[in-house]
Amino acid sequence: MSEVIWGLATSHVPSIGAAMDRGMTAEPVWAPLFEGYRPAREWLAERTPDVAILVYNDHANGVDLDIVPTFAIGTAERYQVADEGFGRRPVPDVVGDPDFSFHLLHQLMDDGFDLTVFSELDVDHGFTVPLSVWTPEPRDAWPCPVVPIMVNVIRYPQPTAARCYALGQALGRAIAGYGGARTVGILGTGGMSHQLAGQRAGFINPSFDHMFLEAIEKDPEKLAALSREDYIRQAGSEGIELIMWLVMRGAMNAEVRKVHSAYHVPASNTAAGLALFENTTTRPAR
Ligand code: DHB
Ligand code: FE
């Protein structure tokens, strides 16, 4: 038996990683964002799990845009940090956990989720920035092995929020049935509201984000009931990344305790949010 001990949701804006890599986090423009992360980082530093699952999207850096799986899992021993055009970030490669990956793959397949399998995968800012939000100074290695779960949020039609929540619930069942790890941390990444291109470039919607931050804790079904078009309309064409927070939330129990949350506008073109939860009851969200 394994159990999810915490769930961390965070935006993955590339410049958050760049600010850290370049030692700019204390500069006035960045300090409020990183101050907001501090209580979560301190709490997490005391609770390193045996393994983590990171639900994220690739941005055509690890996987060509011609082939975008709806849901995928990495099964590699190691994942290299992708070069996104500015050189690789100076952070460690990611150590995987193939045994846990294959367990999750089998269980999810049997539960009706036919995941694409990546036995090799470079991970981009969608993956490494959340790791940096969790662990600002990894030195030679991230705190534990990490299994990537990838979601298509970049090509229409993206999976529905309801399907992402259901994937999370199936993931929760699969985690519970795994004997090889005791404790699991799960990260849901991306969001919050932002739109990077088109007529509404720069669009940010704080009232939607605050509703989402409240509901992801107390009423995830309400968020699961929104259509992909609702997300795009209300959170922006890239704000639909928020559906990945629902995978994390679905893998947790019906009731969770919010450890900490933070919201900062803007980080680059994005409303940057963070929410950290721990499981309070043993009753799963399913
Ligand atoms: C930005 C946000 C993202 O989610 C992303 O993937 C790339 C860039 C931004 O706000 O700059
Ligand atoms: Fe993104």
Distance 197 CA to ligand 1 centre (A): 11
Per-residue pLDDT at 217: 98
Give helix 206-218 / helix 228-235 axis angle, nearest 10°: 130
- For a ligand 1 pocket test, name from 16, 238, 240, 264 the mutation site with the most ligand atoms within 8 angstroms of its C-beta: 238
**Average pLDDT of the residues in 234-255:** 98
Per-residue pLDDT at 285: 54
Instruction: For residue 284, name the pLDDT band (cuts at 50, 70, 90).
Output: low
Enumerate domains of the chain plus CATH numbers: 3-279 (3.40.830.10)
Q: Which percentage of the chain shows pLDDT scores above 90?
A: 96
Distance 182 CA to ligand 2 centre (A): 31
For the cut 60, the answer to whether the pLDDT of residue 259 exceeds it is: yes
pLDDT tens per residue, range 75-98: 999 999 999 999 999 999 999 999
For the cut 70, the answer to whether the pLDDT of residue 111 exceeds it is: yes
pLDDT tens per residue, range 129-177: 999 999 999 999 999 999 999 999 999 999 999 999 999 999 999 999 9
For the cut 90, the answer to whether the pLDDT of residue 13 exceeds it is: yes
